[in-house]
Amino acid sequence: MNILDKIVKDKRKEVSLKKRLIPISQLDSSVLFDKEITSLAKVLRHSPTGIIAEHKRRSPSKAVINQGLNVQDVAQGYQNAGVCGMSVLTDGKYFGGSLDDLLLARASVNMPLLRKEFIIDEYQMLEAKAHGADVILLIAAILTKTEIKTFSEFAKSLDLDVLLEIHNEKELHKSIMPSLDMLGVNNRNLKTFEVSLETSKSLSRLIPDDFVKVSESGISSIEAIKDLKSYGYKGFLIGENFMKTNNPGASASQFIKDLKS
């Protein structure tokens, strides 16, 4: 069983337990549930930089990245740096995140927030909305075509933006549908954890222009972004590069300054 299969197996147990503990009616009545959504896709379409900065404490591939930072400080630092949006990892077991991180980020900033999670149930989208997310992530590798359609349409009914993540051509072909806003190419092979920007480049020509193209993982240089922009990418998800520093906000700020110069 590879790491992705393990994560999904554990996620199914976790969601099943949460559904018994916290009824949907409780999520629906959250103060944040009726908050107006800020579309990340729209921001990316008009941004000169396209940076989506991530809050990530650890990962299965890197173990600890940064456990010592306060999520509010990271969020404010990113917003001050001028990023387009922030991705907040909410998986606890493998990434050290939680829905509280999303809530704290939402209380600190007004930019678009992406709930980065392994979504296998509509309940998780209601959670995302109740905790202040503007965008949800769907991962093609763990969902059927029918699930992608059902989940993305449900997200749109909640007025959430949808970022669909793919790793290869097969996943792309089962994923193209009008209920998606952004198509993200993950340059990391989730089975081997190897990273190659060639994945984004080779898949770019197959992604219709109706979708905002986002490149994810392994982006650590200005050159990489300039290169990927020439392939039509508008969004660039960067996590470890900023989070491994003592001040992710300052790191993002310098990166964006260099990118604009």
Q: Chain-centre distance of CA 80, in angstroms?
A: 20
CB 125 within 8 A of CB 18: no
| Active-site residue set | 54, 56, 116, 165, 186, 216-217
Give the integer Cα–Cα distance in Å for 8 and 23: 22
Q: Chain-centre distance of CA 146, in angstroms?
A: 21
Tokens describing residue 84: 């387009």
Tokens describing residue 104: 């704290």
Give the integer Cα–Cα distance in Å for 95 and 208: 32
Tokens describing residue 2: 């590879």
Give the integer Cα–Cα distance in Å for 241 and 227: 18
Helix axis angle, 145-157 relative to 122-130, nearest 10°?
Answer: 30
CB 200 within 8 A of CB 230: no
Beta partners for 164?
138, 183
Q: Measure the N-to-C terminal CA separation of the chain; round to a whole number of Å.
A: 46
Three-state DSSP at 122 gives: helix
Max Cα–Cα distance, the chain, nearest Å: 52
